[in-house]
Amino acid sequence: MIAQVGIIMGSKSDLNIMNQAAEVLKELGVSYELTIVSAHRTPHRMVEYAEQAKSKGLKVIIAGAGGAAHLPGMVASLTTLPVIGVPIKSSNSIDGWDSVLSILQMPGGVPVATVALDGAKNAGILAAQIIGCHDSQIGDNLAQYKEGLKKKVEDSIKEL
């Protein structure tokens, strides 16, 4: 099956966060690929990945990065695909704010949809929602997922 979502991260240390996107995409029936693409240490790989993403069949890219967090914005500058940025609170981060602001404050013309700090799960859900606009099976899977969220709250209310 051809991957619909590309999940990329700046380093292996981001994997524990970015796996949350992979897990929810799997639950929702969305195919994905997962790899490391560093904007600073492998810039040519980043350019190649971004420029070839659409022709490979990807529909959305989820890019996670900590610290200076240039990966999501640089990838967005090189592709017409939607890019969802996941700011990651890394060991060299300023409590995560550097990552949040770096991804959030993109210049006009280069949008990056930004989720919460370490919010890869929501990035996965958002990617599925984008795909679900044109894929009824994914749309149905999302409706079931959201119904499950509602049921959890209703069950919690009954427990009180």
Question: Residues near 114 by Cβ (< 8 Å), separated by ≥ 6?
Answer: 72, 84, 85, 87, 100, 103, 104
Question: Which neighbouring-strand residues pair with 78?
Answer: none
Q: Which residues pair with 104 in a beta bridge?
A: none
Which of 72, 93, 92 lies closest to 10, judged by CA?
72
- 77 annotated ligand binder: no
Pairing mode, strands 60-66 and 5-9: parallel
| Residue 118, annotated as binding a ligand | no
Length of the chain: 160
- Of 57, 47, 42, nearest to 6 by C-alpha is 57
Ligand-binding site membership of 41 (annotated): yes
Binding site as annotated, residues for substrate = 11, 14, 41
Give the annotated binding-site residues.
11, 14, 41
